[in-house]
Structure 1
Amino acid sequence: MSRLSHSARLALNLGVAITALSAAPAFAQEPADTAVEEAATGDIVVTARRREESLIDVPISVSALSGDALQSQGAVDITALQDKTPNLTLQIARGSNSTLIAFIRGVGQQDPLWGFEPGVGLYVDDVYVARPQGAVLDIFDVERVEVLRGPQGTLYGRNTIGGAIKYVTKRLGNDFTGKVRASYGSYDQIDLVGQVTVPLGDTLSIGGAIARYKRDGYGQNLTTGADQYDKDVIAGRISAEFAPSDGVFFRLAADKTVDKSNARHGTRLVGNGGLPAFEPTRSVYDTRAGIGDRNKVMTQGMSLTGEIDLNDTLTFKTITAYRDGHTDTLIDFDNTAGPVLDIPAWYDDRQFTQELQLLYSGERLQGVFGLYYLDGRASGAFDTVLGLANLTTLTAGSVKTKSYAAFADFNYDLTDQLKLSAGLRYTKDDKTGTVFRRNYTGIRSPEFGNANAVPGLIRTDYTNDRSFDQFTPRISLSYQPNDDLNLYASYGKGFKSGGFDMRGDAVLTPTTVNGYKPETVDAYELGMKGAFLDRTLFLNIAGYYSDYKDQQVTIQRPDVAGGIASFVDNAGKAEIYGLEIETRIVPSRNFSVNASLGYTHADYKKFLTFIGGGTTPVDVSDLRVFQNTPKWNANLSATWSDELAGGTIDITPSISMRSDYHMFEIANPLLDQDGYALVDASASWTSGDDRFKLSVNMRNLFDKQYRVGGYNFPGALFGNSIIGYYGPPRTATFTAEYRF
């Protein structure tokens, strides 16, 4: 038996503790009451199947976290979900402040370059967000966040092969309400949030929310003097809701986020490989990057949602949305003052989506039929500057996508206890890719300000189009002996669309002009959801197995002339299986416990690549590992509540743990992160009339240093560049909130 890491043993011990707690007779007490009872009823309503249902009734692995709960525990953005959800990785991308990297059950996409499709779908009020730039959503004006684990190809489409994350904002209602919130914390953190709802008569309401986030950096750029890991974000939403009758509802919403935080540079982990002597930085948050610090990400969108009850059983829903975004960013791969390996870049994207749904709710049959259309364009450009060779390679291009889909998903009660659920989606993607790569002599190309750069070899210059289509079925069988217990078995298929490699080098790999194929996952799951002991114990357990085929991976092909081409191909096949446990225990009106445990075993069965200068791909699956996929992850938190000074005080300590994980498919002891644990604590006081709230949140109490990303470019020409990026250090935040 292989030796477990320290954090793996901690996670395993926590799982044993969870099981012991679940079986403990101490919870056979009187049911919880008042506010704790409301929180413990278990009747959490989710829309995982595009219709409102109790969480217990849904035969899908779903975690639902309220915005208030996330805020109370100090969650600043949705990456905090990683600490509370089994088998989920949510990180800020390397070199970025607001680009999202997401993995669920080992499936995701680490490379945010335009043209690459994410493996985990992100939805804001049922609007699909196609690009990861600007997707690190802050926690404000949110009702709840749902995390759907496993492929959701039937109801959510082609790029939910790992799962989906749903960000659900609050409906305005028809009462005049509002709140203001101010926070001050470590590193001169200042957060200001304001929300208001104004009814205009009995049928129309307008509302808005604005947030300003400002914080100094955790470190410093020792070359330029600028802050490192700072935050400078302003975000806002405005909406109008019109409900002329009980069966008619329309919502027009718009949002915009501007992130001017400095470019996030890494910290060198090894010497400079022949450059001036390597001098370690004083902190893992410091850098010596010389490319500069300017970084700006802007995302915005509008949506119109309409719901009309046609009769007692049929509801028509329409969702129309447009989104666009632009990013200007800098990545210094060598982390030295000189342009040894620098990447200035810009990305641009826009998308229009239209979805039509017809929902049916009968006595024994419930379900939805829908049509979906997406018209999107993602484009960009970047220079690869090799300063030691006085050489720059410009890469530029775009991918246009038109996607069409029809889907249906229905649940039928075979008996009062036995339910059959089945769905099917057909998706067709039409893609047009344009890729241009050219060598220049000089530091930077004309695209990035060097008009004197001397044009050289054109390495890639093509436009091509391909179509991809796929049926993605889903079926599940549920047995519910009573309202508080659901046993289910399910099968689902997901696929991630194929495309064109924006880095493709047609000189070294001529086949890049043909693009790459989709990847697919066939997923099987057995699960249980239940409420026990007079609804003082809630327990969800799921075991899963996934057959992962045609995985899209980035591989390296050495050339006979000594060059290396990096390109995307369908090289991988793998099996993934694991276990997930989530529990909530409410033994009394003043105390509750939340815990989860995730286990993932991910193993490549085929991984084709080129080695040793060969021209024939070789299976190296025994030498490859899954990235961003710890074998174990777990969390445990407890909340104690009591009356104090005419209000209620809540105290919540928590711990989250992750075992060892790899940054890339090739294990690298310099970059890979050992298992670690993070300890947080929060305390809040709420007045008896719920108008005032004071809270303090401590995160990473023991100031644990842990890597969340890295780059690996060994070799003298690249400055022997191996750099790491780190999660936040210990912070404390004090917040005051007033509701009216």
Structure 2
Amino acid sequence: MPHLHTRTLTLAVAAILAPGIVAAQEANPQDAPQPSANRSATQLDAVTVTAQRREESLQKTPVTITALSAEELELQQVMRIDDLKFSVPNVVIEPNTVTSSGAKIYLRGVGTDDSLFTTDPAVAIYIDDVYIPRQTGAMFDLYDVERIEVLRGPQGTLYGRNATGGAIRYITKKPNGESTGEISGQIGNLGRADLRVSLSERLGEWVDFSAAALTRNRDGISRDVTNDRDVNDQEVYAARMGFGFPVGELTRATVNIDHVKERSGPVYATSVIRDPVTTPSGAVRPVNDPDRNYYTLETDLVPGKNDLDQSGIAITLETDLGTVFWRNILHYRSLDNLLYADVDGTAQRRFHLLQDQSQSQRGFETQLISQGTGPFTWTGGLFAFFESNDQPTRQDNFVTGPTNYVGQDTKAFAGYLQGSYQFDSGFGLTVGGRYSHEQKRFTINSVLPNGTPNYAVMRKESWAKPDWKIVLDYDFTDSVMGYASAATGFKSGGFNGRAASVAQLTSVDEESVLSYELGLKSQLLDDRVRLNVNYYRNDYSDLQLTAFNDVGALVLSNATDTLIQGFEGELQAILTDNWQMHASVGTIDGEYRGFSDANRPAFEGKNLKQAPKVQWTIGTTNTMPLAGGNLVFSAQAHHSDKYELQQDNSPLVYTKPYTLVDARLSWEPADAKWMVAAWTKNATDVEYMTGGFDIPGLGMAAAYMNVPRTYGIDFGYRLW
């Protein structure tokens, strides 16, 4: 319905831009800041990124990147990883089903929606230079953050492991010896109560110290009518601290330690059949949502479990050798997650899930980065990663199922080298390569409810692949750069850790991609407008997909060949000295191709899941001088077309088109240590499904819902 999309966009644009128009027309020129040589007053700030392991200008880096500073994250109310959908084109980020700590991330239609550790994600997450391999625990709060960088498209050379869809880099604030202290909080409806504290100081003469902590709490958003209680709440505690100090004359060491504790309840699903549904076989599936309310549900599971604890330590040594900068990163992380959840959304035990994951990882990476002002620059490195996972898991369909003791040990190694040469003619050429080798040792010991052994399997397999990248860029002017690239990406194969029998113990081949991209980056109108656009085409071979079959067994498969292509655009503009806007748009056109006759029913004519054809965002920030301070209004609207949640394109469980509107109004007195703001998220109280299951054989169709309208007050105080 194009007319509906147009009307929605028109209303959103009018609502967001109206305050800025009024302010521009009514503000007293004497009250407005006068133009000066200060770049930030009349020009967009220059943006520096480290996506290619070195500090570079965003506009001179021939890679498709969205970079968000800490200030932009605050104004756009990006508080958690899933809020990035407001700021990044062609991304779907939602909590994974059942668990509130899991991050389901799809970039350009590629990702993973099963959080079990035997299914690797396709979008890599990094905290600084430490790789986060699991969806469980990846729904990070964005606090004590310097910036976020989102690299769209396969990152096979410099990042490599499981980055066939892209990479998200969470770059934290470093201990730098500054003496600062801040406290901020947030209260709102649904019992919202958050608190954040951060400080930085120099200890003695040479040790820099920083620390930050948060607590995030919210009541349940859904009503369990069976047991008369609210469910789907949040209770999260997190802390991070860092130390920085010199080691000799050339080296600086940084030690970062972090911990997250979550005691939110499991996420309960809600049934979604509002009218009798006739199946292809002629059977009738009865109504299981009689009150037609997606925020009420039934369950026979009390209380359920969703306890998460994860910790990490990373040591970074950076040595300036003159012409070469040498960086070494050593890390260790561990995670424990006890989960017992009702998946079916009914008061019967149709589908309950128990799993108790214990994960640990350690890794080392060494990077050599050229320095100097010559036309040739290069980056090289070695990467080693080791991970162990153990988990008893049980799937109860009507009766207590067998307990599968699942384990997987992973070893991954890679070496990479990338070089760039800038010619006097304005052309630049980048060539890179990476060789990856990965080995997985997989075990299942299955035990029946009476303690009798069911089956036991051990499998060990290795995968190895070279990846490459070629980029040609050209400076049309000092402010306009174009680039064309071809690159590959690789994701290793794996095993179906949810198999209930030997027959279901399938494995998948490696996933690979060949990507082509054309892009243009421009800084226009005396640096008042930044416009970046690109076209991408990704040809995937053996795209890995997961889906539950009609009787609730997970099927892990390769989709043979898949073509995904589209356009993306990002705009930032200073409209007046006090008024800025940003906008983005992304399109996804995906198609399964080349499938075998055996796979034809599963893929022919099906839409890719988690791949909306069009997404757009438009936002504004308006600063109005008032009574010796600034009244800052910021708002954004985000629209997504319909997209599928299941591989079989269920007509009952899918995400309908939606438009979300967020807004924030803050008061910041001049020369004061405090601020206060009123805010709302999902201001128009839109509801949509973030995930779900349609399993006819279990008599269930259940969905997980987004958070309804929230609102409240922010406050902040600078301690010193």
TM-score past 0.5 threshold: yes
Matched, 1:628 2:610: yes
Q: CA deviation at 1:32?
A: 6.7
The equivalent residue for 1:361 is 371
Q: Which amino acid aligns with 1:725?
A: Y
Counterpart in the other structure of 2:571: 583
- Which residue does 1:450 correspond to in 2? none
| CA distance in 1 between partners of 2:63 and 2:489 (Å) | 14
Please say if residues 678 and 711 of structure 2, whose CA atoms lie closer than 8 Å, have aligned partners that are also in contact. Answer: yes
Q: CA deviation at 1:689?
A: 2.8
* Correspondence for 2:710: 731
Equivalent residue for 1:305, pick from 291, 312, 316: 316
User: Hey, what does 1:164 align to over in structure 2?
Assistant: 167
Given the alignment of the two structures, is residue 422 of structure 1 paired with residue 431 of structure 2, yes or no? yes
Map of 1:294 onto structure 2: 305
1:498-528 C-alpha deviation (Å, 9 max, x unpaired): 1121123554357x3xx32110111100001
Give the Cα–Cα distance (whole angstroms) in 2 for the partners of residues 506 and 728 of structure 1.
37
- 1:274-294 Cα shifts (integer Å, max 9, x gaps): 999845357423321222332
Match of residue 359, structure 2, among 342, 349, 355: 349
**Residue aligning to 2:588:** 600
Which residue of 2 is the match for residue 58 of structure 1?
61
Cα separation, 1, equivalents of 2:377 and 2:90? 30
Change (3 A) 1:625 1:493: same
Q: Counterpart in 2 of 1:448? A: none
Kept in 1: contact 2:668–2:674 (CA 8 A): yes
Q: Does 1:665 align with 2:647?
A: yes
SS of 1:623's partner is coil
Residues in 1 aligned to 2:711 and 2:219: alpha-carbon distance in whole angstroms: 14
Aligned with residue 646 of structure 1, among 624, 628, 638: 628
Partner of 2:457: 462
CA distance in 2, matches of 1:264, 1:564: 19
Secondary structure in 2 matching 1:69: helix
1:266 corresponds in structure 2 to 269
In 1: Cα distance, 2:381 partner to 2:42 partner = 33
Change (3 A) 1:146 1:645: same
Match of 1:230 among 217, 233, 236: 233
Asked if 1:548 is matched to 2:540, the reply is yes
Contact map agreement 2:435 2:466 (CA 8 A) in 1: yes
Q: CA deviation at 1:583?
A: 0.4
SS at match of 1:156: coil
Q: SS in structure 2 opposite 1:82?
A: helix
Deviates more, 1:123-132 or 1:34-43: 34-43
Give 1:373's aligned residue. 384
- Offset at residue 4 of structure 1 (A): 5.0
After TM superposition, the structure 1 = structure 2 runs for residues 166-185 of structure 1, keeping only pairs within 5 Å, are: 166-185=169-188
Q: How far did residue 415 of structure 1 move? A: 2.0
Q: Which residue of 1 aligns with 2:405?
A: 396
Relative distance call for 1:205 and 1:699 in structure 2 (3 A) is: same
| C-alpha distance in 1 between matches for 2:148 and 2:35 | 25
Report SS of the residue matched to 2:264: coil
| Alpha-carbon offset, residue 341 of structure 1 | 1.9
The 1-side partners of 2:482 and 2:10 are apart by 24
Contact in 2 for aligned 1:45/1:52 (Cα 8 Å): yes
Moved more, 697-706 or 667-676: 667-676
Aligned counterparts of 2:285 and 2:638: Cα–Cα separation in 1: 40
1:573 pairs with 2:561:
yes
Partner of 2:203: 200
Q: Deviations over 1:137-191 (max 9, x none)?
A: 1121001111100000101112000000000111121121110001111112111
Query: 2: distance between equivalents of 1:656 and 1:557?
Result: 33
Task: Verify the 8 A CA contact 2:44 2:574 in the aligned structure 1.
Answer: no
Compared CA separation, residues 7 and 608, structure 1 to 2 (3 A): farther
Identity of aligned residues (%): 29
State whether residues 227 and 262 of structure 1, in contact with CA within 8 Å, keep that contact through their aligned partners in structure 2: no
Offset of 1:8 from its aligned partner?
8.1
CA RMSD of aligned residues (A): 2.7
Q: 1:681 aligns with which of 655, 658, 663?
A: 663
1:501 match: 496
- The letter for the 2-side match of 1:469 is A
- After TM superposition, the structure 1 = structure 2 runs for residues 472-483 of structure 1, keeping only pairs within 5 Å, are 472-483=467-478
Which deviates further from its counterpart, 255-264 or 643-652?
643-652
Code of the aligned partner of 2:616 = A
Aligned to 1:449: none
Alpha-carbon separation, structure 1, partners of 2:39 and 2:424 = 34
Q: For residue 23 of structure 1, what is the aligned residue in structure 2?
A: none
- Select between 214-223 and 536-545 the one with higher mean Cα deviation: 214-223
Question: Which stretches in structure 2 are left out of the alignment for 5+ residues?
Answer: 17-23, 25-32, 277-282
Q: Which has the higher contact order (CA 8 A, sep 6+)?
A: 1
Aligned match for 2:78, one of 57, 69, 75: 75
2:548, 2:695 within 8 Å by CA — same for their partners in 1? Answer: no
1:115 aligns with 2:115: no
Q: How does 1:89-104 map to 2 (within 5 A)?
A: 89-104=92-107
Q: Is the 8 A contact 1:399 1:500 kept in 2?
A: no
Q: Which residue of 1 aligns with 2:529?
A: 537
- Higher mean displacement: 223-232 or 549-558: 549-558
2:509 corresponds in structure 1 to 517
AA aligned opposite 2:384 = Y
Bigger shift: residues 681-690 or 595-604: 681-690
Q: Count how many residue pairs are aligned between Structure 1 and Structure 2.
A: 693
User: What letter is aligned with 1:305?
Assistant: T
Which one-letter code corresponds to 2:556 in the other structure? V
Checking the alignment, whether the CA contact within 8 Å between 2:214 and 2:237 is kept in structure 1 is: yes
SS across alignment from 1:103: strand
Cα distance in 2 for residues equivalent to 1:221 and 1:385: 20
Do the aligned residues in 1 keep the contact of 2:273 with 2:286 (CA within 8 Å)?
no
Q: Secondary structure at the match of 2:588?
A: strand
Decide whether aligned partners of structure 1 residues 13 and 575 sit closer, same or farther in structure 2, where only a CA change above 3 A counts: farther
- Structure 2 counterpart of 1:543, one-letter code: Y
Where 1:295 maps in the other structure, the secondary structure is strand
Q: Match for 1:302: what amino acid?
A: I
Partner AA of 1:734 in structure 2: I
The one-letter amino acid paired with 1:516 is: V
**Which secondary structure does the structure 1 equivalent of 2:654 belong to?**
coil
Contact 2:42/2:577 (8 A) holds in 1: no
Deviates more, 1:618-627 or 1:699-708: 618-627
Point out where structure 1 has 5 or more consecutive residues left out of the alignment.
Answer: 19-25, 446-452, 610-615
Alignment check: 8 A CA contact 1:538 1:583 kept? yes
Letter of the 1:455 counterpart: T
- What is residue 416 of structure 2 aligned with on the other side? 407
Secondary structure in structure 2 of the residue aligned to 1:598: strand
Given that 1:398 and 1:435 are in contact with CA atoms closer than 8 Å, whether structure 2 keeps it comes out as yes
**1:190 and 2:172 aligned:** no
Say which SS state the counterpart of residue 80 (structure 1) adopts.
helix
Of 87-96 and 214-223, deviating more is: 214-223
Contact 1:214 1:231 in 2 (8 A): yes
Matches within 5 A, 1:717-728: 718=698, 720-728=699-707
Query: Which AA in structure 2 matches 1:576?
Result: I
2:396 match: 385
Q: How many Å separate the matches in 2 of 1:727 and 1:266?
A: 11
Do the aligned partners of residues 8 and 396 (structure 1) sit closer, same or farther apart at CA in structure 2, a change above 3 Å counting? farther
TM-score, scaled relative to structure 2: 0.91
- In structure 1, what is the equivalent of residue 466 of structure 2? 471
> CA shift at 1:199, angstroms?
0.4
Query: 1-side partners of 2:43 and 2:253: how far apart?
Result: 32
1:269 CA drift (Å): 0.7
Q: Say if 1:722 and 1:167 are closer, same or farther in 2 by CA, change over 3 A.
A: same
Q: Go from structure 1 to structure 2 and tell me whether the alpha carbon gap of 1:491 and 1:33 turns closer, same or farther (over 3 Å shift).
A: farther
